[in-house]
């Protein structure tokens, strides 16, 4: 993990180190804007933020007047916005492709099998080319394949709902689907088609049997920190935590984890925080990431983050940190409810005296989208 640009950028701009580089760059440009020649309101602009603190004065910096600097930054934001719009347009075309070709798939009585990568590429890429998109988008191929696999699975499920006694071979004859595809989904579809008492039914706790997280401050221990990527491909950390021995709900999330009888169980979502390293709007350090790092260092006297560590996440395991929990209004499938969520991290020493945060309500007259399920951290080195 590298310390993100902007982590302590403002303090750096006030340092003698930066002032010396700034003066040298101004002198190299003869105290003139390199773009328009102006001599007033001069600023030194970073051409790249990859080398902050170790800039090459000749290659990484340039002198600009205030107006030119502002215009360049606005163009940069416009370019970033254009890139986002481009990807949105491609995603919409992929969705349109699925809708316009759905009737051609064998699940709908057609003669094409859009579960095959070759078939998808043969039809998707020309479709995109005709609409001005010449780049090949492998993620589009995956989206199309996943959609039609799910479509076929639903057909298999419906067939077995009609006659649960059918064998995979008989389902293959009835639907015309590939036998291997049938066997891949047959067992799960068969279980859905036949009602039975689920495994561990008697051992699973009902919703009202679970102790709820108390709102307010909590003393916590970091169980694991993993580096990951968010849905936009940006850097993200996943922090798994639990309430420690000093807290009134000691081991709360470990208890939930151990009580979960599912074979693919994960560390509880309520005990996990997903933090973007960079701000999507500026490309510099996000406030939530800086807050987390600062709270860890303040909560553990003598601890300083090692940005060059081979395993960045390992240094956080077992460290103390405070957390403030509050109620958040959420909407899912058209229904709203209040859930207790971690609102923000705080200093461990003051966690017991923080004020209970106000309930965070959804914006009025603005329908909130259903939250996408976030990836859970791996459990391979959790201590249980």
User: Which pLDDT score is estimated for 319?
Assistant: 96
User: Which pLDDT score is estimated for 299?
Assistant: 96
Total Cβ atoms within 10 A of residue 371: 9
User: Which pLDDT score is estimated for 371?
Assistant: 52
Please write the tens of the pLDDT for every residue from 341-354: 999 999 999 999 99
Round to whole Å and give the CA distance between 375 and 1. 19
Q: Which helix (H) or strand (E) holds 64?
A: strand 61-65
Written as one string, the DSSP assignment of 342-364 is EEEEE-GGGGGGPPPPPPBPPPT
Q: Which three-class secondary structure state does DSSP give residue 326?
A: strand
Q: Which three-class secondary structure state does DSSP give residue 103?
A: helix
Round to whole Å and give the CA distance between 34 and 61. 11
In whole angstroms, how far apart are CA 225 and each of 10, 184, 241? 27, 35, 9
Q: What percent of the chain has pLDDT over 90?
A: 38
The answer to whether residue 287 scores a pLDDT higher than 50 is yes
What is the per-residue burial (b if ≥16 Cβ within 10 Å, else e) of 118-137? ebbeeebbebbeeeebeeeb
The answer to whether residue 308 scores a pLDDT higher than 70 is yes
Average the pLDDT over each of 130-139, 193-202, 310-319, 323-332 and give the range with the smallest value.
193-202
What backbone phi and psi angles, to 5 degrees, belong to 233? 85, 5
Average pLDDT over residues 200-225: 82
User: Which pLDDT score is estimated for 81?
Assistant: 64
**Residue labelled with tokens 């933090």:** 275
Strands 320-332 and 216-229: antiparallel
Round to whole Å and give the CA distance between 289 and 3. 10
Average the pLDDT over each of 141-145, 187-191, 355-359 and give the range with the smallest value.
187-191
In the structure, what pLDDT confidence band is assigned to residue 149 with cuts at 50, 70 and 90? confident
Which of 147-151, 153-157, 265-269 tops mean pLDDT? Answer: 265-269
Contact 378, 352 (CB under 8 A): no
Please write the tens of the pLDDT for every residue from 93-126: 888 988 999 888 877 778 888 878 888 888 888 8
Q: Which helix (H) or strand (E) holds 16?
A: helix 16-28
User: Which pLDDT score is estimated for 54?
Assistant: 86
Is residue 289 classed exposed, middle or buried when 0-12, 13-18 and 19+ CB atoms within 10 A define those classes?
Answer: buried
Distance of CA 218 to the CA centre of its chain: 25
In the structure, what pLDDT confidence band is assigned to residue 380 with cuts at 50, 70 and 90? very low
Token duo for residue 116 = 């095959």
């Amino acid at each position: 993990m590298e310390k993100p640009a902007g982590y302590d950028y403002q303090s750096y701009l006030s340092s003698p180190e930066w002032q010396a580089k700034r003066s040298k760059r101004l002198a190299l440009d003869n105290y003139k804007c390199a773009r328009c020649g102006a001599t007033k309101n001069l600023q030194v602009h970073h051409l790249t933020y990859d080398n902050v603190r170790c800039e090459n004065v000749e290659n990484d910096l340039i002198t600009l007047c205030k107006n030119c600097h502002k215009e360049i930054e606005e163009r940069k934001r416009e370019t970033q916005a254009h890139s986002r719009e481009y990807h949105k347009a491609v995603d919409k075309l992929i969705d349109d492709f699925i809708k316009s070709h759905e009737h051609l798939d064998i699940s709908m009585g057609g003669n094409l099998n859009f579960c095959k990568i070759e078939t998808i590429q043969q039809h998707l890429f020309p479709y995109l080319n005709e609409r001005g998109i010449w780049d090949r988008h492998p993620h589009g191929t995956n989206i199309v394949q996943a959609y039609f696999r799910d479509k076929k699975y639903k057909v298999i499920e419906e067939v077995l709902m009609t006659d649960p006694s059918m064998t995979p071979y008989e389902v293959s004859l009835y639907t015309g689907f590939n036998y291997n595809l049938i066997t891949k989904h047959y067992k799960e579809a068969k279980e859905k088609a036949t009602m039975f008492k689920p495994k561990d039914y008697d051992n699973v706790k009902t919703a009202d049997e679970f102790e709820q997280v108390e709102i307010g401050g909590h003393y916590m221990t970091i169980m694991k920190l993993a580096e990951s990527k968010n849905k936009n491909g940006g850097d993200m950390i996943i922090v798994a935590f639990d309430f420690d021995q000093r807290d009134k709900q000691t081991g709360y999330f470990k208890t939930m984890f151990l009580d979960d009888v599912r074979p693919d169980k994960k560390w509880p979502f309520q005990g996990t925080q997903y933090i973007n390293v960079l701000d999507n709007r500026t490309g510099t350090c996000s406030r939530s990431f800086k807050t987390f790092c600062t709270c860890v260092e303040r909560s553990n006297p003598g601890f300083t983050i090692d940005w060059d560590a081979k395993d960045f996440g390992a240094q956080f395991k077992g460290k103390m940190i405070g957390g403030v929990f509050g109620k958040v209004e959420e909407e899912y499938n058209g229904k709203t409810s209040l859930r207790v969520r971690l609102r923000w991290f705080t200093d461990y020493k003051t966690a017991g005296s923080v004020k209970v945060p106000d309930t965070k309500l959804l914006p009025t007259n603005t329908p909130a989208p259903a939250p996408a399920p976030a990836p859970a951290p791996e459990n391979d080195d959790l201590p249980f």
